[in-house]
Amino acid sequence: MAVAAKGLGLLGGWGDVGVVGGAAFVATMFESWLGATWQGGWITNEVVNFINTAVGAGLAIAGMGRLGQHTKYPIVTGTSVLGLRYNGGVMVAADTLCSYGSMAKYKDARRIRTVGPATLLGASGEYSDFQSIMDMLEGMEQQNANFDDGHNTDAQQTHSYLRAVMYQRRSKMNPLWNDLVVAGPNFLGLVDKIGTTYTDNFIATGFGSYLAIPILRKKWRPDMSEGEARGLLEDCLKVLFYRDCRALNRIQIAKVTEGEGAIVSEPYEIETDWSAASFATTKGGLEGDGGW
Amino acid sequence: MDAALAHSFTISPESSRLKPGELSTGTTIMAVPFEGGVVLGADSRVSTGTYIANRTSDKIAQLSEKIFCCRSGSAADTQALTDYVRFYLQQWEVETGRDATVKVAAHLMRKICYQNKDNLSAGVIVGGWDEVDGGSVYNIPLGGTMIKMNCAIGGSGSTYIYGLTDALYKPNMTKAETVAMVKKSISHAMARDGSSGGIIRTCIVEKSGVEREYIPGNQLPYGP
């Protein structure tokens, strides 16, 4: 039955089959013993069967808890990734910080990578899961190269493939904890950790979806030049640095175009503005309310 | 708001007791006495979860003319504490006819923090100058312990600079050396703590008066 359950996709792997099978075995042995010794009087056959089922279920749940893996929370995380289409291609931007809880631990983390010659992949969320996804995709790139028939996986295909991967992991209650931005010369899409996908003219993950999307909605035009697109992305990342505790002012911008393929810039620092009067004025004085 | 982390390894005692949605001063605060005065310093970030609610905040509150306190932990709790201590200090000054001393201010703060320890999430550093003791600094962490110190640091960001302040501190530093040390230490904490950031505000209190300055976020000695 356990093997059948795995075939139906109800169990994750062969380890789970072992847990379920083992639990059932122990439970039925226990029932046999119970039936031989205590059955009779108010402990009827139905009661014994009930105990058997309960013991089996309890053991299986305990076994799954210890042996089965379920990602409950991410540990090393990246924050927002932004993407937008412009006249000539698509740009993706992100900062280079990976946080360890509230600590700004890795300040030169590369969260945008190229996949093959003409696809960009940006990730927010758990960095180790992003690295695992990159390994998977690089393996596919190598298979393409070995096959050597002139075909490469393009952005649209990578997007669909990742959707399948993320959804399958979600269905096993063990997600890859990322929100991914996939970009190609004429493609921009998102895949989130439960396998939701969509494509649009501009995309943002994490805090960006609250703070950057309104700016992008206001300022984006289909005929933006490369310089304007870069400026808009920098403005959004600047706002994110001001308002997101997990953001950094060191960023990378990547672009992918028909002519030049996918290129990721070296990280650089963006200018930030500290001239607002509110910085200079002190609020903790006696005449105030204790400061804000 | 965000797919916020359910698990954060580097929360300080001050911030792990906040209610959901409550404003935290996150924070890095510091105060160091020198011969003739005291230097107090703080960052300017107030966060709720991972959103920066205020990036221009002033965490150095004045308790009386030459006594200040740096606030960390719950913004609401520390503002209320500041109000109470100011009130009691004013009363004290009227009743005794003298200027309040830092020791009195610190004791008042401690008394309220200790008696309400189950309901407060506040770590404060009281620092100032008075005729009796000159420059002095008292650290009052969660729970209401009060300790007079030569170099007090507090807030979630302080965990990243214990080593640095241990290495940088020397007894009998001049005013300029002390200011430089405070600015450098807070910069380093802001560079690593997600709950600290913005600008560095400093307050130098001496017999001659009070000097308040700030360093903009793009001119910090280190970082971000």
- The three-point CA angle B143-A292-B223 to 5° equals 85
Instruction: Classify residue A51: in a domain, yes or no.
Output: yes
Residues A178 and A50 in one domain: no
Q: Which of A60, A58, A49, A50 is nearest to A21 (CA)?
A: A60
Q: For position A161, which CATH number holds?
A: 3.60.20.10
Residues A84 and A189 in one domain: yes
**Kind and range of the H or E element at B205?**
strand B200-206
The parent domain of residue A43 ranges over 2-64
d(CA B86, CA B202): 20
Q: Among A41, A64, A87, where does a domain finish?
A: A64
- Which stretches within B57-119 are classed as H helix? 75-96, 102-115
* Average pLDDT of the residues in B158-181: 96
The pLDDT, as a whole number, for residue A67 is: 56
Instruction: Classify residue A212: in a domain, yes or no.
Output: yes
How far are the Cα atoms of A84, A123, A202, A209 from residue A217, in angstroms, in the given order?
11, 22, 8, 11
Instruction: Classify residue A264: in a domain, yes or no.
Output: yes
The pLDDT, as a whole number, for residue A63 is: 63
The pLDDT, as a whole number, for residue B8 is: 44
Residues A210 and A132 in one domain: yes
The pLDDT, as a whole number, for residue B84 is: 95
Instruction: Classify residue A292: in a domain, yes or no.
Output: no
The pLDDT, as a whole number, for residue B7 is: 42
Residues A53 and A165 in one domain: no
Q: Show the tokens assigned to B136.
A: 């002095």
The pLDDT, as a whole number, for residue B109 is: 96
Helices then strands, counting H and E runs in chain B, come out as 5, 12
d(CA B32, CA B137): 7
Instruction: Classify residue A279: in a domain, yes or no.
Output: no
Residues A179 and A210 in one domain: yes
CB B137, CB B126: distance < 8 Å: yes
The total of structural domains in chain A comes to 2
Residues A85 and A60 in one domain: no
- The three-point CA angle B80-B84-B90 to 5° equals 145
Mean pLDDT over each residue of chain B, to the nearest integer: 90
Which B-chain residues 130-159 have CB contacts (< 8 A) with chain A? 156
CB A106, CB B39: distance < 8 Å: no
Residues A86 and A161 in one domain: yes
How far are the Cα atoms of A221, B40, B62, B128, B185 from residue B178, in angstroms, in the given order?
52, 10, 20, 14, 11
Per cent of chain B over pLDDT 90 is 82
Which residue from A minimizes the CA distance to B55? A242
Residues A40 and A179 in one domain: no
Cβ-nearest to B193 among A102, A248, A291: A102
CB A126, CB A75: distance < 8 Å: yes
The gap between the terminal CA atoms of chain B, to the nearest Å, is: 24
The pLDDT, as a whole number, for residue A260 is: 95
Residues A126 and A170 in one domain: yes
Residues B19-78 have pLDDT tens digits of 776 776 689 999 999 999 999 999 999 998 899 999 999 999 999 999 999 999 998 899
The pLDDT, as a whole number, for residue A2 is: 75
DSSP reduced 3-state for A94: strand
Q: Show the tokens assigned to A141.
A: 């790139």
d(CA A26, CA B116): 54
The set of catalytic residues of B is: 27
- The three-point CA angle A127-A133-A136 to 5° equals 150
Cβ-nearest to A73 among B6, B197, B201: B6
Q: Do A103 and B10 touch (CB under 8 A)?
A: yes
Q: Among A14, A31, A64, where does a domain finish?
A: A64
Residues A33 and A149 in one domain: no
Residue B3's pLDDT band, with cuts at 50, 70 and 90, is very low
The pLDDT, as a whole number, for residue A37 is: 82
Q: Among A38, A64, A90, where does a domain finish?
A: A64
The set of catalytic residues of A is: 71
The pLDDT, as a whole number, for residue B15 is: 55
Residues A124 and A242 in one domain: yes
Instruction: Classify residue A47: in a domain, yes or no.
Output: yes
pLDDT < 50 regions, chain A: none
Say if residue B89's pLDDT is above 50: yes
The pLDDT, as a whole number, for residue B9 is: 45
How far are the Cα atoms of A235, B108, B216 from residue A273, in angstroms, in the given order?
11, 40, 9
Residues A82 and A154 in one domain: yes
Which A-chain residues 136-195 have CB contacts (< 8 A) with chain B? none
d(CA A190, CA A202): 10
Instruction: Classify residue A277: in a domain, yes or no.
Output: no
Instruction: Classify residue A30: in a domain, yes or no.
Output: yes
Q: Which residues face A10 on adjacent strands?
A: none
Q: Show the tokens assigned to B194.
A: 């997600």
Per cent of chain B over pLDDT 70 is 91
